[in-house]
Chains A and B, each alone.
Chain A
């Protein structure tokens, strides 16, 4: 499973990254987490309101920071 965090360095993007890492640690699984700041790639996902959360190529949330539990449910 591959988790991508779309963001151009806004404070919410960093917050999402921290939350995702917490969720991954909680899940006890080994998951690939990647931060995407390249605009062309973010555009390709159709996301404009950052931060965006993409799991296995599917946009799961945009413009908000989901809670650790929400992220856990997404990667379960």
Chain B
């Protein structure tokens, strides 16, 4: 539908031809398609997440054995609403319930990795298969990474003394009706959309220019698509891009078209979402730098491993 509309507009209404017209068509089509998908998916995810909150996750995780706890925490990371800004209350709250630090990290890795923007962008640009692979490998990194962090006796690096929580862990959940849930979800969707729609346009715009004017196999020729260093370089480049995941993903799509290997792209996208500098800075207030470094190191190695694995398999 979007495809035909955009085609008719560029080639018939504007009477354009040639490379510029192709790039414009690509830009319009992709922007509108992604906007539409973003709104739909973010709304659906936000709506479903109104049934979940971190207090429920804590009550459920309390007392679970470590490895099982890591798996459950990573899975909860997908479906629980989470904002980097509440990483500290979450960290301390889990500690209050004496949930192992490694299990908490499984949650803290999985939640930003599976944020609604990244999922919506991936689904819109790459389809459900790549999205499923991203989520699957992301979960593996969260589970194993969290478990490994637990092995470093991470508790000693928590800078605050957190007493065991007295009384009931079950905070009375706010009961909402469907209209309130839908209203909350719509409000959240609009807020997120307002923050990222320009990023999407910019990303797609640069992507469209690449698509129209840069020769295929560009990456292969200039950056060595299958060079051994492609994956770690991509992962390191992803770290500072946290705020602009929405703008970066359209570029990655075009780069894969121009010869970037899928594993490299996957590593890059995971680094963008999971190696979040703002989260690290926030957590540094309550955690020793050594633990933050371990966290980044383990996740970094995990992400790079996923990239290599993928490039070998595909």
A65 to B54, CA, bound (A): 16
Chain A: minimal CB distance from B184 (Å): 6
The stretch among A17-25, A27-35, A44-52 that forms the contact with chain B is: A44-52
Task: Determine the residue in chain B with the shortest Cβ distance to A45.
Answer: B171
* Given contacts A46-B165, A62-B174, A64-B174, A8 and B81 within 8 Å (CB-CB): no
For B262-281 the 0/1 string (1 means CB < 8 A from A) is 00000000000000000000
Interface residues of A (CB under 8 A from B): 8-12, 39, 42-43, 45-50, 59-64, 67, 70
Task: Judge whether A49 and B86 touch: CB under 8 Å.
Answer: yes
Residues of B near A10 (CB, < 8 A) are 83, 85-86
State whether the Cβ of B236 lies closer than 8 Å to any Cβ in chain A: no
Task: Judge whether B89 and A47 touch: CB under 8 Å.
Answer: yes
Residues of B near A62 (CB, < 8 A) are 53, 55, 171, 174
Task: Judge whether B53 and A49 touch: CB under 8 Å.
Answer: yes
Task: Determine the residue in chain B with the shortest Cβ distance to A10.
Answer: B85
* Given contacts A50-B86, A59-B171, A43 and B96 within 8 Å (CB-CB): yes
B residues contacting the other copy or chain, number (CB 8 A): 27
Task: Judge whether A49 and B81 touch: CB under 8 Å.
Answer: yes
Residues of A near B94 (CB, < 8 A) are 48
A34 to B200, CA, bound (A): 39
For B237-249 the 0/1 string (1 means CB < 8 A from A) is 0000000000000
For B150-179 the 0/1 string (1 means CB < 8 A from A) is 000000000000100101110110100000
A39 to B183, CA, bound (A): 29
Task: Determine the residue in chain A with the shortest Cβ distance to B187.
Answer: A65
Task: Judge whether A43 and B92 touch: CB under 8 Å.
Answer: yes
Task: Judge whether B88 and A46 touch: CB under 8 Å.
Answer: no
Task: Judge whether A63 and B54 touch: CB under 8 Å.
Answer: yes
The one of A43, A45, A48, A64 in contact with B86, judged by C-beta atoms closer than 8 angstroms, is: A48
For B80-110 the 0/1 string (1 means CB < 8 A from A) is 0101011011101110100000000000000
The one of A48, A59, A67 in contact with B54, judged by C-beta atoms closer than 8 angstroms, is: A48
Residues of A near B167 (CB, < 8 A) are 46
Residues of A near B183 (CB, < 8 A) are 67
Task: Judge whether A49 and B54 touch: CB under 8 Å.
Answer: yes
For B101-141 the 0/1 string (1 means CB < 8 A from A) is 00000000000000000000000000000000000000000
Known: A10-B83, A46-B165, A48-B90. 6 other contacts (CB 8 A): A10-B86, A42-B89, A46-B93, A47-B89, A62-B53, A64-B174
State whether the Cβ of B258 lies closer than 8 Å to any Cβ in chain A: no
Residues of B near A12 (CB, < 8 A) are 83
A48 to B56, CA, bound (A): 10
A40 to B90, CA, bound (A): 12
* Given contacts A8-B86, A8-B88, A39-B89, A49 and B96 within 8 Å (CB-CB): no
A9 to B136, CA, bound (A): 34
A62 to B168, CA, bound (A): 16
A50 to B180, CA, bound (A): 18
